Amino acid sequence: MTNTENSSTTQSHGKLIAVVVAAAVVIILAVLSAFVWPGWAIRKDAGTAAPNGSSQQQSAEAEPTTPTIEATALPDDATELLKAMPDSVLNYARTKAEASTTWSAASPLEEYTLTYSTGDKAKDVTLVAAQWSTADSAKTQYDALVSAQTGDDQASGNVKVSGNVTGAYVVKADAADAKKSVAIWQNDTVVFQATGTKEAVERFYQKFPM
């Protein structure tokens, strides 16, 4: 009876060892195949996330912040309002500035139409700037301009100088051209309207110093 039990126990141990060894071999083969077999156990999105992120980062970094063309000089008899118009905004240089009558019906004291360009006319921003004798008169013109724009709102808020609210702004889609936007803002007695591509206007009005 004792010999039989010992023999049976030995056989059981042998079978157990064989099962453990076989299981270990299967696990090792599975692990190796995960790295050797093409595409197995590799997340597909891991390979595409980096290029997309890299492309977006490169695009943002490639956006220039200084002009590559010279700004056009203002006339010698330029008024204080015209002199206040910056030579450049980011990479947009002032290439044209002349008196205009776009808003003559609202009787501004003075009005100018300016062009800011990167050198690519398709990205030009046209800016109309005019001044009134009072902030209330400027506000009336601002409200009229905003009401005339029927495109969807893209942004709006208050204009602040040294923490004080001096006016308001709104950016709307150009109802006549889905690729363009119109930004309108009032700063005290002066009203501005910038028109151009959506991307150009968005960058331009946020960095305009007035």
pLDDT at position 4: 39
Alpha-carbon distances of 37 from 24, 29, 48, rounded to whole Å: 19, 11, 20
Q: Structural domain boundaries of the chain? A: 2-62, 80-207
pLDDT at position 63: 80
The predicted-structure confidence for 43-88, as pLDDT tens digits, reads as follows 323 333 333 344 334 444 578 999 999 999 999 999 999 999 999 9
CA 122 – CA 177 distance, rounded (Å): 13
pLDDT > 50? residue 195: yes
* pLDDT (mean) for 174-197: 97
As to burial, measured by CB atoms within 10 angstroms (0-12 exposed, 13-18 middle, 19+ buried), residue 208 is buried
| Identity of the residue numbered 31 | V
Q: Does domain 80-207 have CATH number 2.60.460?
A: no
> Residue by residue, what is the 3-state secondary structure of the chain?
CHHHHHHHHHHHHHHHHHHHHHHHHHHHHHHHHHHHCCCCCCCHHHHHHHHHHHHHHHHHHHCCCCCCCCCCCCCCCCCHHHHCCCCEECCEEEEEEEECCCCHHHCCCEEEEEEEECCCHHHCEEEEEEECCCHHHHHHHHHHHHHHCCCCEEEEEEEEECCEEEEEEEEEECCCCCCEEEEEEEECCEEEEEEEEHHHHHHHHHHCCC
Which carries the bigger pLDDT value, residue 184 or residue 17?
184
The predicted-structure confidence for 131-163, as pLDDT tens digits, reads as follows 999 999 999 999 999 999 999 999 999 999 999
pLDDT at position 62: 73
pLDDT at position 25: 46
As to burial, measured by CB atoms within 10 angstroms (0-12 exposed, 13-18 middle, 19+ buried), residue 171 is buried
The residues near 118 (Cβ < 8 Å, ≥ 6 apart) are: 64, 67, 68, 69, 91, 92, 93, 124
